[in-house]
Amino acid sequence: MSTVTAPSEISKSRFSLSRLLIGKPLETRALPHQVVSNPIGLAVFASDALSSTAYSIEEILIILALAGTGAVTLALSIPITLAIVTLLIILTISYRQTIHAYPNGGGAYIVARDNLGELPAQIAGAALLTDYILTVAVSISSGVAQITSGFNALYPYRVGIAVGVIAFMTIVNLRGVRESGRIFAAPTYFFIFTILFMLIVGLVRSALGNLGTVKDVHELVRHDVQSLTLFLVLRAFSSGCTALTGVEAISNGITAFKEPKSKNAATTLTYMSAIMIVLMIGLTLLTHQVSALPSERETIFSQVGRTVFGASSVFYFALLSATALILLMAANTSYADFPRLAALHAGDGFLPRQLTYRGSRLVFSWGIMGLATCASLLVLVSRASVTALIPLYAIGVFLSFTMSQTGMVVRMRKVGKLHPGEEVPGRETVMRYDPHWRLKMFISALGAVCTGMVMVIFAVTKFTNGAWFVVVLIPTLVFIFFRIHYHYRDVARLLSLKGVPVDVEKRPIQTLILVDDVHAETVRLVNFAKSLDHPWHAVHIAVNPDKVELIREKWRKRIGEGDLVIIPSPYRLLAEPLRQYIEELQAQTPGSFVHVILGHLAMDTFWEQALHQNTAVLFNLALSRMERVVVTSVPYQIHRNGLAHEPSEAIVPLGH
């Protein structure tokens, strides 16, 4: 057994367009193993969570406004925000535990698989995959809405812009983004400081009494006024809970932190939650102060911003661009998470294997393309409207929160049964006794119950607005995942060699040459068949009965050896008569191989190729269902222009 040397470099001549867009191929050993400091980690992983504040407050107000735009009604946004903040605190404490338990990465899929089994893991995974797609669609739609708030002339082109942004982001990600790059730090901190600055200016001006309220709102979202029911308040609450999407990001990316990884990740999570709480409460108060009202053409952020800073202030445009930028960053995190999670599923055999292949730039190209396609479709269908997408969003995330924390409850019960000091190695991580297991189990259980309740509230209050789609989709996905899994399992079983003796005896081979006409290509086929040194004969399928005599004559004159069998084909079919002929041959010599040799004219360009029949592909397909029928395609190269490639053979193909 030998190993040949690595190719010195790969050919430069081909795939020039894709190479231009995607970049030069990268070697496998170039897979990055970098780690980041806590401030950079915060910037990288917080964009998703922080950016949701750009639409969550708005979506709360849109629901409340259904019951009229009175001051008392809209003031309900404040207690709703406080409820969401409480939920965030519970989640943060609960997820710190997960981070410590799974230092190698504690995403919902892994935690559920480790503690609950395959079905819950697939449910959590399907939910997360769905939500990653929605994150892209919602974040980019919201980002574009920020831009069109500032530049109203762009409003009619919002769908095109959003799809264009997705396409751009897809190309960037197919090139491969160094997730840990410092480039991510800038927009996140730019956003945090811009918002904090706006909060301070706004609250100071409010205290001085010269803040005022929003002027010249374009057009309000108008509905028939409903009465203010508990149902409506819960619906507003669940809309606001979209702010919590992205909180799980750090638990997926623990390995990106410096040692001690778990501790650093947990600390960063705490910082992130603290910042979120400040932003959410501050923004809710300020929004209420300036009496911003939801409008289809201008975001709440834009209204608050121009009231605080003035519509022509540079800070107002800084706010809009910071918001648009962090929303794009948030979408970009899905471009990292979705393909990675899909590859995990595929590695376990629940999604097509192709999702585990790294492309020329080491990224999971299939996953990136799949994400981009689904997100673009959502943007097109929803006409890039955040409000239309929100009812579909966040159910998946809350389902995965619930699964993950339920998994932690199960794990803590097991931990509680260990003796002090005992360690049990698991699939993902080592399980150690923990004296505080009861408290930790309680926190995880509390988190699971809360997020589970929110998910139910979500599904019920928004069912008719679109949530039904997700309620149907996730079980469907899980069903498909298992179908795929059973397929791979069965194929593996059918291919397994366990207990099967290796087939050592040689078998007879009957060789057929498929002849359409007799010319230089045919000579090569005959030459190959003769070189093989097995019994052979030629076969012509008589699609055109008028040609038969001519071909017989040519065969006799030009080849002059070997039998030429004519198979009639009254229905002008190619594969069907051949199949019947082969079946007869196989019946005559059971257990033999039938070896079909056919020619393939290989042209230099696609257009030239399209002018020929290309029957090789057809026969390969048609005969692939027959046991022990082997198809050989013998290419014959045609170089019309300059004969540049194989000068010695192209014109005088034989007998040199």
Site for its own copies in 571-610 (CB under 8 A): 571-573, 576-577, 580-581, 584, 593, 595, 600-602, 608, 610
CA distance 426 to 494: 30
HEC letters along 505-558:
CCCCEEEEEECCCCCHHHHHHHHHHHHHCCCEEEEEEECCHHHHHHHHHHHHHH
Segment holding 218, helix H or strand E: none
Task: Name the β-bridge partners of 512.
Answer: 537, 596
651 binds its own copies (CB under 8 A): yes
627 binds its own copies (CB under 8 A): yes
For the CB of residue 317, give the shortest distance to its own copies in the complex, in Å: 41
Interface residue with its own copies among 226, 255, 313, 354 (CB under 8 A) is 354
For the CB of residue 64, give the shortest distance to its own copies in the complex, in Å: 39
Q: How many CB atoms lie within 10 A of CB 207?
A: 9
Question: Could you tell me the two tokens for 373?
Answer: 């396609």
Interface residue with its own copies among 172, 446, 471, 567 (CB under 8 A) is 567
Interface residue with its own copies among 56, 289, 360, 444 (CB under 8 A) is 360
- Give residues 89-148 in contact with its own copies (rule: CB under 8 A): none
Interface residue with its own copies among 552, 586, 587, 606 (CB under 8 A) is 552
- Binding segment (CB under 8 A) for its own copies, from list 80-88, 123-131, 278-286, 624-632: 624-632
611 binds its own copies (CB under 8 A): yes
- Which residues lie below 8 Å from residue 609, measured CB to CB, with a gap of 6+? 602, 603
CA distances from 136 to 183, 332, 389, 530, 634 (A): 19, 7, 11, 60, 47
- Give residues 267-296 in contact with its own copies (rule: CB under 8 A): none
> For the chain, how many residues are written?
656
555 binds its own copies (CB under 8 A): yes
- Binding segment (CB under 8 A) for its own copies, from list 22-30, 192-200, 242-250, 316-324: 22-30
Number of residues in contact with its own copies, rule: CB under 8 A?
Answer: 113
Task: Judge contact between 330 and 48, C-beta under 8 A.
Answer: yes
3 binds its own copies (CB under 8 A): yes
For the CB of residue 202, give the shortest distance to its own copies in the complex, in Å: 50
CA distances from 124 to 390, 401, 566 (A): 20, 8, 60
570 binds its own copies (CB under 8 A): yes
- Which residues lie below 8 Å from residue 421, measured CB to CB, with a gap of 6+? 433
Interface residue with its own copies among 5, 13, 227, 312 (CB under 8 A) is 5
| Nearest of 369, 338, 331, 376 to residue 143 by alpha carbon | 331
For the CB of residue 592, give the shortest distance to its own copies in the complex, in Å: 9
CB of 471 or CB of 566, closer to its own copies? 566
175 binds its own copies (CB under 8 A): no
19 binds its own copies (CB under 8 A): no
For the CB of residue 21, give the shortest distance to its own copies in the complex, in Å: 17
626 binds its own copies (CB under 8 A): yes
| Nearest of 599, 640, 625 to residue 516 by alpha carbon | 599
Interface residue with its own copies among 13, 17, 29, 588 (CB under 8 A) is 29
What is the Cα gyration radius of the chain?
A: 33
> How distant is the alpha carbon of residue 154 from its chain centre?
29
- Give residues 470-529 in contact with its own copies (rule: CB under 8 A): 484, 487-488, 490-491, 494-497, 500-504, 506-509, 518-521, 523-524, 526-528
